[in-house]
Amino acid sequence: MSIKLDGKHCSLEIQERLSKTVSEGLLSAKRPPSLAVIRIGDDPASGVYVANKERACAKIGIKSLVYHLEEKVSNQKIEDLIHQLNEDNDLDGILLQLPLPKELNAQKLISQINPSKDVDGLHETNIGKLIKCEPGLRSCTPAGIINLLNSKNIKIEGKRVVVVGRSLLVGKPISNMMLNLNATVTIAHSKTKNLKDICLQADILVVAAGKPKFIDSSFVKEGAVIIDVGIHRLKSSTNNMTQLCGDVIMEDVISKVFAFTPVPGGVGPMTVTMLLVNTIFSWQKRCGLISTLDDLLP
Ligand code: NAP
């Protein structure tokens, strides 16, 4: 039987450790860790994600502040807010909730965040540190995937890894993390030829194409580990209900694989937990505490 890589369970375990880390550090730090989330516009999905993040912060003792700006806010106003938050010595993390309204350039705004507070790990300084294999804040979804594999002692070194997708958010950072952990990595994208043949070589197949039910069992090698990053809400053809699914048709693949991530409950919960890890990592550094979370930041 294949192993379910249960992101909810793994997240709870890490969050217990984080709660302890916060309570043990409070006396020396003299303040709790704190995170500012900037939300722009009224996209309902972003609203849900921000609320989840606030709840997760509250649970482990991180103070969270949400700055909700109107859809038509000027670039300058957002930059001013970021600069103000950069200067706040009692703040450890700044997160710009994505996606942004299309008039705004996300990467340019992220570049304005002080890299030591970039708890989404998307600033070029932090991406550079990842590529150079130096310690630092890491992008949350890829770091969550590595921790999920570690939680079941799934070895990465020496494995053939195929990543479908090359976004800055997922595909590129997970490829670099896998490479740093001594896997042999192939990155596929929309212009890749013979995608199926390439996927069939993977010991670990990471799918982040953003295409619902794109990968079936014909792409997957017997005994592989499959990580489904995609998340989509689809309308049922028979009733008005909606249903979450990933990029992978997991029911078709499951009997063939050694391990898999469910959707929902796989990669998603790990993403939020890694935001907490990054925030506490930054808090420890800013408050002169000893870093105790390096093993969670691949
Ligand atoms: P993205 O920016 O849209 O990138 C998608 C990537 O997939 C691109 O590199 C694209 O190639 C590639 N691609 C598209 N069609 C392809 C095809 N037919 N064959 C091979 N490659 C193809 O998406 P993303 O931000 O990386 O996110 C990917 C998925 O993960 C989405 O469903 C997103 O919602 C989900 N996600 C989930 C979490 C979580 O916490 N669970 C977090 C982040 C993202 P090109 O570069 O050539 O266009």
- Residues 105-122 pLDDT 10s: 999 999 999 999 999 999
Q: Which of 5, 163, 190, 267 to mutate to test the pocket of ligand 1 (most atoms within 8 A of CB)?
A: 190
Topology of the domain comprising 140-268: Rossmann fold (3.40.50)
Cα distance between residue 168 and residue 131, in whole Å:
12
Global pTM value? 0.97
Distance of CA 213 to the CA centre of its chain: 21
- Equal fold, 30-115 vs 140-268: yes
What's the 21 CA to ligand 1 centre distance in angstroms? 34
What atom in ligand 1 is closest to the CA of residue 271? 40
Q: What's the topology of domain 30-115?
A: Rossmann fold (3.40.50)
Q: How many angstroms is it from 64 CA to the middle of ligand 1?
A: 29
Report whether residue 143 contacts ligand 1, using a CB cutoff of 6 Å: no
pLDDT score, position 252:
98
pLDDT of residue 217: 98
24 contacts 287 by C-beta, under 8 angstroms: no
Question: Is a pLDDT exceeding 80 seen at residue 76?
Answer: yes
- Catalytic residue, from 15, 92, 117, 120: name it: 120
Is residue 203 among the annotated active site residues? no
pLDDT of residue 23: 98
- Per domain, the residue ranges of the chain are 30-115, 140-268
53 belongs to the catalytic site: yes
pLDDT band at 272 (very low <50, low <70, confident <90, very high): very high
Mapped onto helix, strand or coil, the DSSP state of residue 103 is coil
Mean pLDDT, rounded, of the chain: 97
